[in-house]
Amino acid sequence: MSQSLLNHLNTLVTDTPVPAGIRIAQVIGITSAAYLSGYIANFSFVGVPSLARAPVNVKPLVWQDMYRIGASTAPYMAILSSLSFGYLASTGNSVAHAPKERKKIAHPKAVPRTPDLFRNHKSRTFYLYAMAAILVPAIVPYTVGIMKLTNDRLHQRAERYKLVNAWEVKEDGEMEELLKKWTTLNTTRSLLPLAATLFGLWAIMS
């Protein structure tokens, strides 16, 4: 299976006349989407767990710093990836990595039963790149929509603890639950650019 995949990739690279601009857009789109997925997931698998030994009143403050770092960087990576995939979708007719044309025997009585999306190579490539272009920036509405309530409550905790002495806070079970919920939501958010990466790879391989 792996050898077959390598052979297919080699055929795409060596036997297919794809413009350099298309190749560059493919590399940028897929690489930035994959990187963004790992970047977002890192806050769940490394960032929040590292707060386990931190004082209770410090946890929401550090989380707030992580939030601001992510909010100031992730959207720009999403825009870069989305623009690359959007460009690839708009130039679908130029992405000439389809197999060589074969002579087809006309059959006047034949009735096409397969939708163009799956029967037509160019159409399928367009939809795959378009889906990738939509999924990457979807992290923004996901953040301001699905994650808003949890984010707001953690921000409130952070602002409250800025005025509290560390020794006055023994434990905060609700905050721990909020961090766990945020970790789950953030991990789910990281799957959006990951899915875009897979759609982009599928478009290249198809």
Cα(136)–Cα(176) distance, integer angstroms:
29
Least confident interval from 22-36, 48-62, 131-145 = 48-62
71 Cβ contact list (under 8 Å, min separation 6): 143
Banded model confidence at residue 165, pLDDT cuts 50, 70, 90:
low
Q: Is the pLDDT of residue 138 over 90?
A: yes
Q: Given this model, what pLDDT does residue 8 score? A: 56
What torsion do the CA atoms of 30, 33, 37, 42 make, to the nearest 10 degrees? Answer: 100
- Lowest-pLDDT choice from 108-112, 118-122, 176-180: 108-112
Average confidence (pLDDT) over 43-70: 92
Q: In this structure, what is the dihedral angle of CA atoms 53, 152, 185, 143, given to the nearest 10 degrees? A: -130
What pLDDT score was predicted for residue 173? 81
Average pLDDT over residues 101-122: 49
Higher pLDDT, 194 or 52: 194
Q: What is the mean pLDDT of residues 104-113?
A: 48
Percentage of the chain exceeding pLDDT 90: 57
Tell me, what's the pLDDT at 160? 87
pLDDT at 117: 47
Give the mean model confidence (pLDDT) for residues 169-189.
Answer: 90
Q: Which residue has the tokens 């309530």?
A: 149
Mean pLDDT for all residues in the chain: 83
Helix, strand, or coil here: 106? coil
Q: Which whole-number Å values give the CA distances from 105 to 100, 120, 128, in the listed order?
A: 16, 17, 29
For residues 180 and 106, the answer to whether their CB atoms sit within 8 Å is: no
Q: Is the pLDDT of residue 65 over 80?
A: yes
Of residues 135 and 163, the one with the higher pLDDT is: 135
> Mean pLDDT over residues 36-46, rounded?
97
Indicate if the pLDDT at residue 198 is higher than 90.
Answer: yes
- Which spans in the chain are helix H? 2-15, 20-42, 59-90, 116-119, 121-135, 139-145, 148-161, 173-205
